[in-house]
Amino acid sequence: MVLMLLTKTQQLQLLQTAKDSIAYGLRHGQALPVNSGDYDPELQEIRASFVTLEIHHQLRGCIGMLEAVRPLIVDIAENAFAAAFRDYRFPPVTAAEYEQLEIHLSILTKPELIKFDSEEDLLRQIRPNIDGLILQEGAQRGTFLPSVWESLPEPHDFLCHLKQKAGFDPDYWSDSVKVYRYECDIISE
C-alpha cells in the first residue's frame, strides 16, 4: 500500500476542485469539467477517492470509488458533485448550505486482500484507526473508511456494523467472505 505524498499546494488544489465542483453543480446540475492535464503529475495519477461532506460535524453526504479508474483530480470533482447531489441518504445540497459545507477528502491506497482462517483471526489482523475495510460476499459489498473508527473504535463493533452495511446480519459469517484493507490520506479544510 502506497500513500500519496502531496504538497500543501496540491492538497489545496484538490479541496478547491471539490468545492468548485459543488458550486458548478448548483449552477449547472453536473460535476465541474476538469482537464487532468492542467495539473501536476501527482494529481493525474489514477487513484480512488471518497469525498465526505459535513455541516456542523454532521454527515451531509459521502460518495467515492473503491477502484481507481480515473485521474485523482477528476475523481475528486466527480465524487464531490455526487456527495452533494446524489447521496440517496440526503436531499441535494442547497445554495444556502454550500457555505457551511466542511469537505474531507480520502485518497485510498489499492485494497489488499486479508488472508484469515476465521472471524477471530480477521479481528486480530484489523488495525484500528489505520485500516479501511471492504467486506464482500457474492454481489453484496460494503466499506468503511478509516475515519469510521472514530465512532466505532472496537474491531468487533466495526466489523459487525460493516456487515450490516453490506446487507448481512451483524453475527453473519461464512467461509466465503472476503475482506480487503486499504489506508487513506485524509485532506480536510
pLDDT of residue 104: 96
Number of domains in the chain: 2
Residue-range definition of the domain harbouring residue 61: 8-108
How far apart are alpha carbons 142 and 167 in whole angstroms? 8
* Side-by-side strand order, sheet with 178-182: 112-113, 178-182, 132-137, 140-144
Last residue of a domain, one of 93, 108, 123: 108
Instruction: Confirm if 180 and 112 have CB atoms less than 8 A apart.
Output: yes
pTM for the predicted model, two decimal places:
0.90
Q: Which residue from 146, 13, 167, 28 is spatially nearest to 84, judged by alpha carbons?
A: 28
* Residue 148 and residue 90 in one domain: no
Give me the tens of pLDDT residue by residue for the chain, a chain 189 residues long.
Answer: 556 679 999 999 999 999 999 999 999 999 999 999 999 999 999 999 999 999 999 999 999 999 999 999 999 999 999 999 999 999 999 999 999 999 999 999 999 999 999 999 999 999 999 999 999 999 999 999 999 999 999 999 999 999 999 999 999 999 999 999 999 999 998
Helices 72-85, 8-28: axis angle to 10 degrees equals: 40
pLDDT of residue 189: 84
* Residue 145 and residue 125 in one domain: yes
* Residue 100 and residue 169 in one domain: no
pLDDT of residue 34: 97
* Residue 44 and residue 134 in one domain: no
pLDDT of residue 4: 65
Does residue 57 sit within a domain? yes
